[in-house]
Amino acid sequence: MTIKQEVIIDLLPLYFAGDASEETQELIEMYFEKHPKFAKAMMQMHEQIKNNVEEELGENIQVEVSPEQKLKALQRTKVLLRMRAALFLSGTLSLILPVLFMVFVKESDAVEWAKYVVTGILIVVMPTTWIGYAYLRYRMRNSGDLK
């Protein structure tokens, strides 16, 4: 049975990682015995890749951040935190105020009209505020910045 070189090449990552079955390892080693030039080239390539990966992972990656960039990031974070607090307060008030207005205001014609207007306005404001709060919180957690 002849095995094509492409099949061996496909199996090499498993072989080099040590994840190949015993039968696959024997098959590759037999192929290497029959084709020593190919075996030598593959072993050299494996060593070269292994050394390159070790060099790249061994280096400490340092990112230089200027004081101006640090200050800008801090200021941006403060603004985003203030926006988040304002949206939270606004959302909470828009949730509580209609209920308080309906419970504690006494019945009269003028108050009845105002009750529905205020409630209607706050029903529009409340979902918008909470959606804005959720979006801002999501962006701050995932990217650290609002684009």
Q: What is the pLDDT of residues 21-57, one digit of tens each?
A: 899 889 999 999 999 998 899 899 988 888 877 677 6
- Whether 52 is covered by a domain: the verdict is yes
144 has pLDDT over 60: no
Q: Is the pTM of this model over 0.85?
A: no
Q: How many CA atoms lie within 13 A of 135 on its CB side?
A: 10
Residues 85 and 126 in one domain: yes
Domain residue limits at 35: 5-58
Residues 88 and 136 in one domain: yes
How many domains is the chain partitioned into structurally?
2
- Whether 147 is covered by a domain: the verdict is no
The maximal CA–CA distance of the chain, rounded, in angstroms, is: 101
Residues 98 and 50 in one domain: no
Residues 129 and 100 in one domain: yes
Residues 103 and 47 in one domain: no
Say how far apart CA 51 and CA 49 lie, in whole Å: 5
